[in-house]
Amino acid sequence: MKIGNVIRLAALVVLVLLLVRPELFSGFFGLFTKNNQPAIYNQGNLLDITLNHLAIVLAATVASTVIAVGLAIIVTRPFGAEFLPLSRSLANIGQTFPPVAVLALAVPMLGFGTAPTLVALFLYGLLPIFENTLTGLTNLPPAVTDAAKGVGMTGWQRLLKVELPLALPVILAGIRLSVVISLATATIGSTVAARTLGEVIIAGLLSSNTAFVLQGGLIVGVLAVLIYDALSALERWLMARTGQLGRTAA
């Protein structure tokens, strides 16, 4: 087993233990407390908070993926090419306004809680997925697309059976970037009462308890690394399956 895989496995084991049996780490986190502060976050269950954090990120990413991929498909068809500038402007909205500003605008309309956070993460995740999908669909091997036309495939058949499968690794790279950004950005959702790991960090900042800040930060960081690596491995597998890995290496 490669050293990198051993490190990832160890990180996963430590993460699971921290979420399921956080008291096992009280000695370590106790090093970062003072004046008899609690070493382990005690205002909620770390596992429940983490699962809720991941659920928010997943929901926002799915929504961003559906809209961004749909827009990219439309603008790469002959009938939708003229809408490329408009689609790119729409995808750029999330990057134009910082998530905090989106939250501030969304709260008066949607109220406090998860909804404003979902909106902010959805908008923030559009651009990388849209641009990667656009790149994947416009840089397909001409020989493959010509062969698909030669055997009589319709436009939608080529899209579903040839173009999207070949572009999938590039699309997945955009999704990977969006997920990692959302994992970190979701923490600010706790400022508007969304149940994310941000509440652990905020509780630590308000009480000057470094142990709480460290717990929230470590969980978010380890999750981001593990999910990034998992999606990277899936991307490489898809490229190998479609024969793109060897072509890229060559």
Which pLDDT does position 249 carry in this prediction?
39
The radius of gyration of the chain from alpha carbons, rounded to an integer in Å, stands at: 22
Going from N- to C-terminal start, the domains of the chain cover 44-243
Which pLDDT does position 245 carry in this prediction?
60
Which tokens sit at 243?
A: 């024969």
Entry pTM? 0.90
Q: Any idea which of 56-65, 176-185, 240-249 has the lowest mean pLDDT?
A: 240-249
Residues 175 and 165: beta-carbon distance below 8 Å: no
In the CATH scheme, what is the homologous superfamily, with its name and number, of domain 44-243?
Answer: MetI-like (1.10.3720.10)
Could you give the CA distance from residue 230 to residue 39 in angstroms, rounded to a whole number? 31
Q: Any idea which of 8-22, 26-40, 140-154, 204-218 has the lowest mean pLDDT?
A: 140-154
Q: How many CB atoms lie within 10 A of CB 16?
A: 11
Size (the chain), residues = 250
Residues 158 and 148: beta-carbon distance below 8 Å: yes
Residues 99 and 185: beta-carbon distance below 8 Å: yes
